[in-house]
């Protein structure tokens, strides 16, 4: 049993690594230049400001250094600042958390209100058409 749990934990760590790497690569590739997004398309700033912002965001570092720093910050829930709004990503997530929890609870209740009666009916009448195919009957 311990071998099975150990193997599953190794798989979990590998999967989390792959997901984090894909997330990082997709965010870097799809969003474009973060500096231009922060400064805006109409921003007329000098090159020194652009270089300073690139240094703050570690965009002047190799990609593996950027990834490790991103991973370190994500592990402690420091998601940086939003590229679209002047607030931090953490504050934006916390601000939307109550609505997310409310929607999740409502969706769970709807699912339970539908699933429980359907499951009870299927269990009470196993010979019905919906259950017949599952038992190899026609």
Residues 90 and 78: beta-carbon distance below 8 Å: yes
Residue 133 has a pLDDT of 55
Residue 15 has a pLDDT of 97
Region class of 4: left (phi > 0), else alpha (psi between -120 and 50), else beta: alpha
**Please, which pLDDT band fits residue 135 given cuts at 50, 70 and 90?**
low
All structural domains of the chain with their residue ranges: 1-76, 89-138
Contacts (Cβ under 8 Å, ≥6 apart) of 57:
34, 35
Residue 90 has a pLDDT of 87
The residue that leads in pLDDT, 95 or 49, is: 95
pLDDT in tens, 23-49: 988 888 887 777 877 777 666 777 888
Average of pLDDT values for 68-91? Answer: 85
Check pLDDT > 90 for residue 126: no
Contacts (Cβ under 8 Å, ≥6 apart) of 61:
69
Beta-bridge partners for 88? 81
DSSP 79: -
Residue 16 has a pLDDT of 94
Check pLDDT > 80 for residue 10: yes
- Supply the DSSP string of 20-64, one letter for each residue: HHHHHHHHHHHH--HHHHHH-TT----HHHHHHHHHHTTTTS-HH
Rounded-to-integer distance, Cα 80 and Cα 23, Å:
15
């Amino acid at each position: 049993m311990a071998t099975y749990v150990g193997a599953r934990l190794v798989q979990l760590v590998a999967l989390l690594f792959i997901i984090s790497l894909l997330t990082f690569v997709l965010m870097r590739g799809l969003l474009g230049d973060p500096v231009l997004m922060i400064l805006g398309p109409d921003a007329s700033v000098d090159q020194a400001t652009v270089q300073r912002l690139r240094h703050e965001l570690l965009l002047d570092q190799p990609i593996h250094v950027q990834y490790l720093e991103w991973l370190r910050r994500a592990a402690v829930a420091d998601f940086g600042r939003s590229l679209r709004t002047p607030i931090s990503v953490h504050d934006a997530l916390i601000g939307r958390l109550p609505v997310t929890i409310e929607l999740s609870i409502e969706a769970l209740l709807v699912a339970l209100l539908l699933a429980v009666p359907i499951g009870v009916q299927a269990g009470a009448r196993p010979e019905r058409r919906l259950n017949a195919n599952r038992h190899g009957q026609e």
